[in-house]
C-alpha cells in the first residue's frame, strides 16, 4: 500500500467557508505579478550587494562599481533594473547622479530578508560570517556554488 506524501492530508476534508474566506483575501493578479518581479530582482547576488551598499549610503555609479569590484557598465545595468521596479531612485547633482533606496519599504524588506537568513543560518556559520565581516567594515565572503 502506498503512503501519502508528508505534505498531503491523510483524510479528504473540504471547508467551503474557509476556502471562500481565504479566496476573497487573495492577492489580485497584478499584485502577484509585481511582487514576483520584485522577488525575482532580489534573487541576484549582485543586486543584493548593490541594495546593501545603498541601504548604508547614497552613492554614485563610480563609487558603487569601486566598492563592489564591478565595472560601471555592470552597475549601471543593474541599477536600471532596480529603478524599473522602483527599488532605487536617482538624484542628479550637476553632472553626477547618486542613487539611494527608493523608500523605507525597501529598507525594511531588505532588513527582514537578512534577519530571516541569519535566523535560519542559510549555511553553516553564514550569519556569523556576515556579522564578523560587518564588524570589520567589510563585505561578507561570497558564496561559491558548485
Q: Which domains does the chain have, with CATH numbers?
A: 28-102 (1.10.10.10), 103-137 (no CATH)
- Are the C-beta atoms of residues 87 and 105 closer than 8 Å to each other? no
* DSSP, res 103: S
pLDDT tens figures, 104-118: 888 888 888 889 989
SS3 state of residue 86: coil
Does the pTM exceed 0.75?
no
Average pLDDT (39-64) is: 94
pLDDT tens figures, 89-138: 999 999 999 999 998 888 888 888 889 989 887 555 555 555 555 555 55
Q: Are strands 59-60 and 88-93 parallel, antiparallel or unpaired?
A: unpaired
Amino acid at each position: 500500500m502506498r503512503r501519502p506524501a508528508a505534505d498531503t492530508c491523510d483524510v479528504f476534508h473540504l471547508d467551503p467557508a474557509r476556502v471562500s474566506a481565504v479566496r476573497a483575501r487573495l492577492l489580485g493578479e497584478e499584485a502577484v505579478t509585481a511582487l514576483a518581479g520584485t522577488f525575482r530582482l532580489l534573487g541576484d547576488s549582485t543586486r543584493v550587494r548593490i541594495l546593501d551598499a545603498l541601504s548604508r549610503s547614497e552613492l554614485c555609479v563610480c563609487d558603487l562599481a569601486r566598492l563592489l569590484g564591478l565595472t560601471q557598465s555592470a552597475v549601471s545595468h543593474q541599477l536600471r533594473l532596480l529603478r524599473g521596479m522602483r527599488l532605487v531612485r536617482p538624484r542628479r547633482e550637476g553632472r553626477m547622479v547618486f542613487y539611494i533606496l527608493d523608500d523605507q519599504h525597501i529598507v525594511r524588506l531588505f532588513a527582514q530578508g537578512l534577519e530571516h537568513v541569519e535566523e535560519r543560518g542559510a549555511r553553516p556559520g553564514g550569519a556569523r560570517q556576515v556579522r564578523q565581516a560587518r564588524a570589520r567594515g567589510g563585505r561578507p565572503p561570497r558564496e561559491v556554488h558548485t
